Structure 1
Amino acid sequence: MRGVANTLQQQGLDSAALFGEVGLSIKDLDDPDFRWPTEEISRLWTLAAERSGNPDIGLFDPHLPRPDQYGLVGYVMMSSPDLLTGLTRFIRYICLVSDALTATLEPGDGGRWVKLDLFGGECPIPRQRYDYAVLNLLTFCRWMLGRPLTPEAACFAHAVPASTAAYNDAFGSPLQFEAKFNGLLISSKDLASKLPTAIPELADVHDRLAGEALRKLITTDTAHRARQVIARHLHDGSPLRATIAAELNMSDHTLQRRLADEGTAFTDVVEDTRRELAQHYLADRRITIADIAYMLGYSDQSTFFRASHRWFGESPGEYRSRVQEGHQQEIEAARKR
């Protein structure tokens, strides 16, 4: 978030004022353990694009490396022997940087896809936020390699922008919009490249420090970990607490106790997970309501409709239309400015 604030400031915007307008305090940048609400971050990017008049603000200064963006995770990555190991560690420890971002490495044509997925909560994720996240990872990889790195391809889930010039400049690779995911295809050759930043003597130290930080986070956020596992099991129906506990490497009783210590219960975590995923899926018109009901683990659409009325006070279709209408109004307001 400090990098976001700096990016906005470099665009001639008053970062502190923008943070305040969306209910954030820039003073929280001084607290390394502060967790920024994802909905407000999305609103911040939307407001920044509107005030700057630059819809490509997330791609600002695309050739400027930002090696300080990932904190401890950045040190773990740069001390790795090669790029593939660095990216693998990035994925392992990403929750130390953001609990709204997940990343995966998946096989691709001639290399591997690095896929990024952001959780936006009730607010649709503006393209500027994904632009920034994808480019930030690429520039850090370029910095670690100490040379240019051109992806084999760059994919974005959002619609084709009015101009792709900024994307061509930033990525220099084939582009795909309205894709099923956001991410980069990196060649096997580049993944195998040795990192000049590698320091074998420090690699184990950095890995141990990151591991300790991860364990500390895990022991204080069982509900967050449970939500991630529940999300993977929902398509099979309502998950059993014992099943989730086993995947979290703890007993059913321990999971129940830890959730109680955090002021919640397993049924509430399942409900919250379904609601959050429903918001994410309904913001994407490419996913049918029937498919969403299935992915949330409901046996029929009527059960999903009742849940939607419980969460949002309206049907899934009505919620989708309202969110899309609000997003369109934001776009039109930005164009007028």
Structure 2
Amino acid sequence: GCPVHFGQNEDGISFSERDMASPVIDRDAAVFTAVTAYIEREFPHRHPPLHAQVRGIVMQWLWTAHCSNDRVAAELGLHPRALHRRLATEGTSFQKIKDEVRRDILRYYLEQTDIDFAHVSEKLGFSEQSVMTRSCNHWFGASPTRLRARLHAPA
């Protein structure tokens, strides 16, 4: 019964202040302790691989001026060369991750929305719509128009 917003910069659930201020009725301390212990045991605090951290930041910043190797490295507390080396040990690079995110989001926009191509190109940080078209042809073997038509076609 709540509104769902697609294509946002982040995932999340919003609660009103009134909801957050509501008291917990019949709190069971034993259940809380058991659930907390289970979560800590089954989901220990681990940092995701560096490429996954970079991907998450790129997904947030793709359509901003902040989506650069230097800025992402700074966000992670790394020198840009250290980021480059560590990504290389994981078999990837900043540009490869950025292109993968662009590819995945482009497919989403073409499959799930009717946003015009100029706006999609701008949101994905392409310098021009023609660059997006070339990338789409490279990644999917079809232009954005053909891909959208194919993805929207009934099965």
**Is the pair's TM-score, using the shorter chain for normalization, greater than 0.5?**
yes
Give the gaps of 5 or more residues in structure 1.
Answer: 1-152, 158-178, 330-337
CA distance in 1, matches of 2:3, 2:66: 33
Q: CA deviation at 1:289?
A: 1.2
Q: CA deviation at 1:284?
A: 2.3
* Residues 184 and 260 (structure 1), Cα distance of their counterparts in 2 relative to 1, 3 Å cut: closer
* Residues 261 and 202 (structure 1), Cα distance of their counterparts in 2 relative to 1, 3 Å cut: farther
Show the counterpart of 1:317.
145
CA distance in 2, matches of 1:198, 1:271: 48
Q: CA deviation at 1:306?
A: 0.6
Q: CA deviation at 1:254?
A: 2.5
Q: CA deviation at 1:217?
A: 3.6
Query: Are 2:53 and 1:192 equivalent residues in the alignment?
Result: no
Show the counterpart of 1:241.
69
Structural mapping, 1:162-241, within 5 Å: 186-195=15-24, 196-197=26-27, 199=29, 202=33, 209=40, 213-214=44-45, 216-218=46-48, 221-236=49-64, 239-241=67-69
CA distance in 1, matches of 2:139, 2:66: 17
Structural mapping, 1:120-139, within 5 Å: none
CA distance in 2, matches of 1:239, 1:222: 16
CA distance in 2, matches of 1:270, 1:180: 17
What is the TM-score when the length of structure 2 is the normalising length? 0.76
CA distance in 2, matches of 1:188, 1:292: 35
Amino acid at match of 2:20: L
Query: Are 2:97 and 1:266 equivalent residues in the alignment?
Result: no
* Residues 237 and 298 in structure 1, CA contact (< 8 A), matched pair in contact too: no
* Residues 266 and 183 (structure 1), Cα distance of their counterparts in 2 relative to 1, 3 Å cut: closer
Show the counterpart of 1:154.
2
Name the stretch that deviates more: 248-257 or 312-321: 248-257
CA distance in 1, matches of 2:70, 2:146: 36
Q: CA deviation at 1:239?
A: 3.0
The structure richer in strand per residue is 1
Give the gaps of 5 or more residues in structure 2.
Answer: none
Amino acid at match of 1:313: G
Show the counterpart of 2:127.
299
SS of alignment partner, residue 155 of structure 1: coil
* Residues 237 and 299 in structure 1, CA contact (< 8 A), matched pair in contact too: no
Q: CA deviation at 1:296?
A: 0.7
Q: CA deviation at 1:324?
A: 1.1
Query: Are 2:111 and 1:280 equivalent residues in the alignment?
Result: no
Percentage identity across paired residues of the two chains: 27
CA distance in 2, matches of 1:300, 1:238: 18
